[in-house]
Structure 1
């Protein structure tokens, strides 16, 4: 049975999903429209009066509700008289050993409405040579605008990611970098001209995607997502062709704390795995003495592989694998 803590679940496209749940089953509504009724039969959920044409939307929304309501649920067994073959082809439904089910680890890998912009999925592979002498895949064009959006039911707030806009974000980036707390780890204090040059170099670099994190559309954090194979981190571990790395900065004091980190770190990692299905690992290299950040990352499934010496710092290599993330992530 699902938890009663969720009364509604807003969707990124503006619609709202709501459920009525009792001992026999549940009824889902999309805005004011009845979407699906289902009943429990021997641990299987049986949708009632659901046509083949309605299955794709209704079952995706059913899965979203169930997995957001019960983050520890690993699968949802279903009883259906007919199955739309396209849902089996997509991975939303699995037919195995006479059982039909939706797997949590597969569901969260489907972009759905969460991925808000063109992704690298399907971009053809061609190996090229980096200036460092390392071969890596040619990278596709970088997106512009909002790239990810999801309602975080734990916080009761939207978490979203958009690409950095220098004219819109320069002053807040400058303010964040000049705060004593951020400067202690980033060491990038300076004036607006210095930070304009810094950000423009990153925007011009195909290796790096600068991002702004928002809660309810209010910017609170800055991230750099980079391709690890072309980065300075590559010599320090066996970087795969599609590994992504992250640098993280929470600028607004009101959005600090472990519950906020859990929300944005899961969203950032989720986005990078959705953006490129060939990405098998997301890595980070916080300072080895940044015990608080390392602890936050470990709480969300990252593991500390080792410590190593960058020229400018002693770093901890933190790794999150695709397999572990989708098995354990809390995307409620």
Structure 2
């Protein structure tokens, strides 16, 4: 059951904020203090929701806001059953709602809700990018879209009470912190990329011009704390070690700021990173990682986010654990809030 004394507001990307007056049987949502939607609730599994009033606002966005509020309030809730007198065309077209076998009854499934890309994504071209197969260094793979610039993902983590966001790395802006992070003994023991500013400038410049890799900075409340590399597995050195699909993505991860370590922080940023990659292109069916096989802590964090260890294998520079998370498993067990 949800806590009926939640935080008074739930921030949305773009600066707006949801507020609510919620009781056991009623929910009134406000957007920026203005009435948005009023609902009658019938608690149970599933939770039944009856629309009472939408206050002259577009119904589709109001239904989305109510689903977001209810799923965020109760991460154990897997389905909302809506009773609507009018046909919710926009919500059905988007996948927010699906029709049930009963007249005027529609379901919102958590597994579908979190696959809707907006408002979490920034500018993204991958989802609509056409497929053309090409060959690079003897590897046949889809042509990759132009890499984005700027913020690519933003979501308020209600558990932490903080924004988690991802933006692309900008060399002039991020070189000094990248250098500091890579030269810290804790990071260097796993990444083995210690070096000077110029060496790291060259490293990042090469990746910037590599269509296979997207370099990202992770932020909590807009403060950088981590560096991630998201790569297309089909063109990567990992491809010979498992049957990589055309749109599999892989991740390398580095937390540079010590105050943002800990299981609760990892759960936030790791789920956000995987969520972003699955949203960025709906054809992506798996996210993979290959931490060092003796990195028990990171492997444990990956297990906690529903990755499984397929096997161990040998790169030239390390023995690695092949960790895999499928799209269906991620969204079926999705605990985002």
Question: What TM-score do the two structures reach when normalised by structure 1?
Answer: 0.97
What is the alpha-carbon root mean square deviation over aligned residues?
1.3
- Unpaired runs of 5+ residues, structure 1, are none
Q: Distance in 2 between matches of 1:260 and 1:68?
A: 18
Helix, strand or coil: the match of 2:324? strand
Q: Distance in 1 between matches of 2:42 and 2:171?
A: 55
CA contact (8 A) 1:25 1:45 kept: no
Please give the per-residue CA displacement for 1:177-232, whole angstroms capped at 9, x wherever unaligned: 00000000000000001000000000000000000000000000000000000000
User: Is 1:86 aligned with 2:90?
Assistant: yes
Deviation at 1:176, TM superposition (A): 0.3
Runs of 4+ deviating beyond 4 Å: none
C-alpha contact (below 8 Å) 2:82/2:107 kept by paired residues: yes
Answer yes or no: is the 8 Å Cα contact 1:15–1:30 preserved in 2: yes
Partner of 2:13: 12
The range that moved more, 156-165 or 50-59, is: 50-59
Match of 2:124 in 1: 118
CA distance in 2, matches of 1:285, 1:212: 20
Contact 1:304 1:316 in 2 (8 A): yes
Partner in structure 2 of residue 235 of structure 1? 240
Bigger Cα displacement from structure 2, 181-190 vs 71-80: 71-80
Q: What residue in structure 2 maps to residue 72 of structure 1?
A: 76
Counterpart-to-counterpart distance in 2, 1:41 and 1:320: 35
> Once structures 1 and 2 are overlaid, which stretch shifts more, 78-87 or 250-259?
78-87
- Say if 2:36 and 2:55, in contact at 8 Å, map to a contact too: no
CA contact (8 A) 2:10 2:19 kept: yes
- Secondary structure in 1 matching 2:234: helix
| Aligned-pair CA distance for 1:7 | 2.4
Matched length: 331
Cα distance in 2, alignment partners of residues 265 and 119 from structure 1:
22
Offset at 1:41?
4.4
* 2:110 and 2:334 in contact (8 A); partners too: no
Deviation string 1:259-314 (CA, Å, 9 cap, x unpaired) is: 00000000000000010000000000000000000001100111111100000000
CA distance in 1, matches of 2:7, 2:107: 23
* SS of aligned partner of 1:136: strand
- Give the SS at the match of 2:106: strand
TM-score, structure 2 as length reference: 0.96
User: Which 5+ residue runs of structure 2 have no aligned equivalent?
Assistant: none
CA offset at residue 118 of structure 1?
A: 2.1
SS of 1:19 mapped into structure 2: strand
2:213 paired with 1:208? yes
For 1:206 and 1:41, the matched residues in 2 are separated by 50
CA offsets per residue over residues 228-273 of structure 1, 9 Å max, x none?
0000000000000000000000000010000000000000000000
Question: Aligned pair in 2 of structure 1 residues 27, 52: CA closer, same or farther (>3 Å)?
Answer: closer
1:37 maps to what in 2?
38
Match of residue 138, structure 1, among 139, 143, 153: 143
Structure 1 residues 52 and 310, CA gap change in structure 2 (3 angstroms): farther
Report the more deviating stretch, 292-301 or 45-54: 45-54
Answer yes or no: is 1:315 the counterpart of 2:316. Answer: no
Alpha-carbon shift at residue 51 of structure 1 (Å): 7.6
Q: What are the within-5 Å matches in structure 2 for residues 148-163 of structure 1?
A: 148-163=153-168
Given that 1:301 and 1:329 are in contact with CA atoms closer than 8 Å, whether structure 2 keeps it comes out as no
Partner residue in 2 for 1:178: 183
